[in-house]
Amino acid sequence: MSKVLVPLANGFEEIEAVSIIDVLRRAEIKVLVASLGENMLIKGVNGITVQTDYDIRNINSDMIDMMVLPGGWGGTHALADDENVQRLLREMDAKGKNIGAICAAPFALNKAGVLKEKYTCYPSVEEQIRQEGYMGDTAMVVEDENVMTSRGPGTAICFGLAIARKLKGEDTYKALKEGLLATYCK
């Protein structure tokens, strides 16, 4: 069974995190929801608290197949500043393992040096990353090598579906897309 790590930090974007976790679990992918430390209750940008299951300090890159970062500026900055998140991102990339980020979170990928040439993010965040390679709204999900990025809350289900397609294949993707009534996802 594929395993995906979703690290949460205070200020994460709830729609993105919960949508990704939900879609991946529907695809029968094991999702490890981790905090950045001992506090397992993480408060999102809109005041919704989520209980995590793991402390990221106990996760290594051999335990997971993919790492996906939700956005939200507060959470993104914490992920970008966390030595364990940054180390895991670099290890995952060095091993050619899949990495994903949505909304503001490509900022954390860029800080780790793993963001590839083509990417998308929440509008205006590219100003904090780089203009070159920014795909804007040309696609809800942009893939470049082993890195997938997406735009924000409104694209979170499509992003989750794209991850499910990558890890579980086209049949799982189509079944989930139909069941979620996500006909707008490409």
Choice among 103, 121, 158, 185 that is catalytic: 103
For residues 94 and 108, the answer to whether their CB atoms sit within 8 Å is no
158 is a catalytic site residue: no
Q: How many CB atoms lie within 10 A of CB 28?
A: 12
What CA–CA distance (Å, rounded) separates 43 from 175? 32
What's the CA gap between 35 and 147, in Å, rounded? 22
- Is residue 100 classed as helix, strand or coil in its secondary structure? strand
Burial of 47 (0-12, 13-18, 19+ CB in 10 A): exposed
Q: b or e along 103-135 (b: 16 or more beta carbons within 10 Å of the residue's beta carbon)?
A: bbbbbbbbbbebbbebbbbbeebbeebeeeebb
Write out the catalytic residue numbers.
103
